[in-house]
A and B are shown apart, each in its own frame.
Chain A
Amino acid sequence: MTHKIDIKNLNLYYDEFHALKSVNMVVGEKNIIALIGPSGCGKSTLLRTINRMNDLIEGVRITGEVFLDGNNIYDPGMDLYELRKRVGMVFQRPNPFAKSVSENVAFGLRVAQFKNKKKIAEIVERSLRAAGLWDELKDKLNRPALDLPLYQQQRLCIARLLAVEPEVILMDEPCSALDPIATMKIEEMMVELKRNYNIIIVTHNMQQAARVSDLCGYMLLGEMIEFNKTSEIFTNPRDKRTQDYITGRFG
């Protein structure tokens, strides 16, 4: 049986620095996976191996395999651009483009050389609706996205992903720049999105991991210490180090 994502013995080096150490992780369909762990333990790095964003960084060396639907994305023949359409990413700080609201959402379509204006408008509306932004922004479609408040910018970045219908959505601390109410809205949205998408979220907020995720991985110093059902991780951790972390005895 093939899994949605299957990470096997993954090692990553930033030049000499060993940032991911033999990481293994198996993800099924339509789950929310949370990655937790202290700052600098390699959560973002692991996330970015799944859409090969680390390829953009000089001096990165990777060994091991990451299978997406049974295909190793590190195979030499892999089409990076195709991969990144299938595996979308939301960043820590909202990063809408210096374009209008609707052009931000249409960006992925333009990248894919979509020309049909009517179809684009339709997809823009559908994506904004899915991100819960349509009612707030339908009269502001031509306004610069950078004028929006941060919480709308972040949801716009999610809408921008939904437009290209990825299979997996990677989120790197998507709420760290947001207030609690905006955070709650994003979390509600994630649960909604789970019906159609696989989501992997990095968070430093353990309550958030406990609230939204089905599976949870605890990382420390580049190692995946424990990867299990979220309920198990939080109520019955196998590893002493996980226990220390979730009970707050760590950092």
Chain B
Amino acid sequence: MMKLFSEKSIKKALTVIAFSAIAALLLIVVFIILEGLPFIFKVGISDFLFSSEWEPQMGRFGIFPMIIGSLVVTLGSMIVGIPLALSGAIFLSEFVPRWAMRIIKPTIELLAGIPSVVYGFIGVMVLAPLIRDYLGGPGLSILAASIILGIMILPTILSISIDSLKAVPQSYREGAFALGATHWQTIHMAVLPAAKSGIIAGIILGLGRAIGETMAVIMVTGNAVILPKSPLYSVRTLTANIALEMGYATGMHRQSLFATGVILLIIIMVLNYTATIAIRRRVGKK
């Protein structure tokens, strides 16, 4: 048996598997672009991106509200999630004893595994009514989505941030303490800068999850195709747009959803790219 799988053939097999995985991904991307791009040029880039009228039956395909919806909800989730995750990570990695961490860390990682429909369900049943009753508006809103998404991305950012804070060598802390720094000064002047690239990587992962999230977002945003004037407005995101309409879309309409996918793809790529550059630029600087 062992002889059959010689070094060489295992290597070959792995190469084939790796390439087919990459090929599959590329194929999907190419397929989406081929289906979507011609449509964008037919309608016109600026009409598609910057018109606010989305009435596929009438031949009006403006996804501007959805772009804004995706960006606003993602931004909101970051505003909710990042401060919570960062302060949590600092507290857990610096102030909680090792034995407690052994219980807390796996629990946090477990939270990442909760299906998004469950988060969405809580959003609809608990959060949205609260917002409607106390702050007004329809309840299903940017605010509700930001809070739910912020909590959803929490485990990702938290867990990676804890890891990178823990990975900072003890010698950095000692160096700071030896210069008369307080515990807090040590954390924010010596430990955080050293852990920054890891923390930013965690934030990027969280960002990717937030902008790509569909199910929970469909449930709590209200899905109205409008330009929001406040966080209490309903919005529709790009992902929700695709998911909601793909079941019955045909012809131009169907192509327009692929085109929406192309835009989503581009936004995610741009975000990832800028974030990666930001990491490279900021490591060691300041």
Which of A's residues lie within 8 Å of B, judged by CB? 51, 53, 56, 81-85, 88-89, 91, 93, 95-100, 103, 107-108, 110-112, 142-147, 157, 160-161, 164
Q: Which of A53, A95, A110, A144 contacts B189 (CB 8 A)?
A: A110
Q: Is the CB of B283 within 8 A of A98?
A: yes
Q: How distant is A246 from chain B, measured CB to nearest CB, in Å? A: 30
6 nearest CB pairs, A to B? A144-B284, A85-B180, A95-B171, A98-B194, A89-B178, A84-B180
Task: Provide the bound-state CA to CA distance between A91 and B177, in Å.
Answer: 12
Q: Which of B171, B179, B196 contacts A84 (CB 8 A)?
A: B179
**Which residues of chain B have C-beta atoms less than 8 A from A81's C-beta?**
180-182
Nearest B-chain residue to A92, judged by Cβ:
B171
Interface residues on B, range: 20 to 34
**Which residues of chain B have C-beta atoms less than 8 A from A82's C-beta?**
180
Given the known interface contacts A81-B180, A81-B181, A144-B284, the answer about A97 and B175 at a Cβ–Cβ threshold of 8 Å is yes
**Which residues of chain B have C-beta atoms less than 8 A from A83's C-beta?**
180
Question: Within residues 160 to 186 of chain B, which ones have a CB less than 8 A from any CB in chain A?
Answer: 169, 171-182, 185
**Which residues of chain B have C-beta atoms less than 8 A from A157's C-beta?**
175
Q: How many A-B residue pairs have CB under 8 A?
A: 84
Q: How distant is B101 from chain A, measured CB to nearest CB, in Å? A: 15
**Which residues of chain B have C-beta atoms less than 8 A from A146's C-beta?**
284
Q: Which of B172, B175, B178, B285 contacts A144 (CB 8 A)?
A: B285
| New contact pairs (10) apart from A84-B179, A97-B176, A98-B193, CB-CB < 8 Å | A85-B179, A95-B174, A98-B284, A99-B285, A107-B176, A107-B179, A108-B180, A111-B180, A144-B283, A160-B179
Q: Which of A93, A100, A108, A144 contacts B179 (CB 8 A)?
A: A108
**Which residues of chain A have C-beta atoms less than 8 A from B169's C-beta?**
95
Q: Which of A91, A98, A161 contacts B196 (CB 8 A)?
A: A98
Nearest A-chain residue to B192, judged by Cβ:
A98
Q: Is the CB of A95 within 8 A of B179?
A: no
Task: Provide the bound-state CA to CA distance between A82 and B180, in Å.
Answer: 6
- B187 CB within 8 Å of chain A: no
Q: How distant is A81 from chain B, measured CB to nearest CB, in Å? A: 5
Q: In this complex, which of A99, A111, A164 has the most chain B Cβ atoms within 10 angstroms of its Cβ?
A: A111
**Which residues of chain A have C-beta atoms less than 8 A from B283's C-beta?**
98, 144
**Which residues of chain A have C-beta atoms less than 8 A from B189's C-beta?**
97, 107, 110-111
Q: In this complex, which of B174, B176, B177, B189 has the most chain A Cβ atoms within 10 angstroms of its Cβ?
A: B177
Given the known interface contacts A97-B172, A98-B196, A146-B284, the answer about A111 and B178 at a Cβ–Cβ threshold of 8 Å is no
Q: Is the CB of A145 within 8 A of B179?
A: no
Q: Is the CB of A100 within 8 A of B171?
A: no
- B286 CB within 8 Å of chain A: yes
Task: Provide the bound-state CA to CA distance between A144 and B283, in Å.
Answer: 8
Q: How distant is A60 from chain B, measured CB to nearest CB, in Å? A: 14
Q: How distant is B90 from chain A, measured CB to nearest CB, in Å? A: 16
Q: Is the CB of A100 within 8 A of B284?
A: yes
**Which residues of chain A have C-beta atoms less than 8 A from B181's C-beta?**
81, 107, 111
Q: Is the CB of A53 within 8 A of B185?
A: no
- B190 CB within 8 Å of chain A: yes
**Which residues of chain A have C-beta atoms less than 8 A from B185's C-beta?**
111
Task: Provide the bound-state CA to CA distance between A147 and B284, in Å.
Answer: 9
**Which residues of chain B have C-beta atoms less than 8 A from A142's C-beta?**
285
Q: How distant is A177 from chain B, measured CB to nearest CB, in Å? A: 12
Q: How distant is B62 from chain A, measured CB to nearest CB, in Å? A: 46
Q: Which of B174, B180, B194, B196 contacts A56 (CB 8 A)?
A: B174
12 contacts between A and B (CB under 8 A): A53-B177, A53-B178, A82-B180, A85-B179, A96-B175, A97-B194, A98-B190, A99-B284, A108-B180, A110-B189, A111-B182, A164-B180
Q: Is the CB of B179 within 8 A of A99?
A: no
Task: Provide the bound-state CA to CA distance between A99 and B190, in Å.
Answer: 8
Task: Provide the bound-state CA to CA distance between A187 and B191, in Å.
Answer: 30
Question: Within residues 229 to 264 of chain B, which ones have a CB less than 8 A from any CB in chain A?
Answer: none
**Which residues of chain A have C-beta atoms less than 8 A from B190's C-beta?**
97-98, 107
Q: How distant is B184 from chain A, measured CB to nearest CB, in Å? A: 11
Q: Is the CB of A99 within 8 A of B286?
A: yes
Task: Provide the bound-state CA to CA distance between A226 and B256, in Å.
Answer: 86
**Which residues of chain A have C-beta atoms less than 8 A from B172's C-beta?**
95, 97-98
